[in-house]
Structure 1
């Protein structure tokens, strides 16, 4: 849990300073921003290449490399995990609007002034909020369960989206971003922990690989948001963000069902040794 959250914190430290640097650079020369970003990614790629060369990944399953087919079979056999995965896809769908529909809306709408600058401010608020609330939300997730935290997070993201649809002032958009970010933290700080708890030791690579399918929500979200934006226009945000919030909430019943099935299977696993022990005593 500590390692996963350190990783998440580092991402958001970068997100907190990145937009400000981009705005300063673009004020004089827009192309310089992209050259510097490209250079940073090249350095990152070289570092990752060196890391994997020194520490190669040799995940195996029964002496064989874990294949895509093994991941598909995993999804067919572990119904609780598959339902949780589907629920998180809806949560990621809602979160993806932050990087796609929201900036388009702020650029095109006449309801809020200075959309480009406001979006850069919102990105910074998002990152700073993550750093502030990450630890207490992590403690909440540990005391309850990853499924409860993720379910609450999806509901909070949906609330944030709905408030964005009603934001007719900058301060209200900032409030919406704070609420949205709290939901984001509840989801993403616990996703890796949820995967780790579901995973059987010999199939941990397959479970984390399957969790990568949540990118489906990241792919579909911008398409849906862009279609709604073109349908209703940037000056009618309520139906746009209201529909997106409603679609995000579809993840909650899937996660609740996953929790129910997972608890039932856990109880059965705990009762099985007791049943075998009683049978042995009777036979004796």
Structure 2
């Protein structure tokens, strides 16, 4: 039977689930905190009667995330420009080194690449919950049904529908980090040199660049489409923002770039690379999403 402290060991798993469901570390932490608050609000005899505190906490956290996903749709309709998931640094690159920070508990794998998280954004809340819990974390549909309030068969259909979205979007299953690192390094060098021709050669002709400033930082409000247009836009940014330092950093487990001014991170860029060329760039500039990225000194 469960004990009052039995749920504490589940925190890492819950943070990982919630971040993939919500695309926001802040919201994931809040959801997990709320799940624990409800756990400890139970009378002691009820906690002790719970056979699996982990399953109880997952069900409650999943329902909280489902509610947040529903309300997030309305919030994002009012969001200034494009909304992108919150980028995640590697543990070794954390700005403050706080071991207790929830970001340190995120397992960086293919299910947290920016490309994958962006595909998850295209799903309905119920599809996202069913797909993430089953396909990423291998929860049985019977447990997912308890979260969604639907039958296991209905949850299976939701996951199947979500899986088709992933296939249609060509989300990478096992990205080649080594090849991507070389391409990203060349992009950095061409960007620093303001070499439009070199950038065009590194970008797929049909590449798309999406920026998220959230109304708090300057960012193009609509995606920039086409390799040449993106290259010219990147050089335009470099001309307008002298003094930027570009750093090669891991972004959600894949090679990316971080732009800093006076030691403060102002942009985190994630890339999708296919056939040796950049097909997608996601540039997060909203300072509220960049707090883990600034080092002191």
Q: TM-score, normalised by structure 2?
A: 0.22
**Max Rg structure:** 1
Q: Per residue, is there more helix in 1 or in 2?
A: 1
Higher relative contact order (CA 8 A, sep 6+): 1
Q: Per residue, is there more strand in 1 or in 2?
A: 2
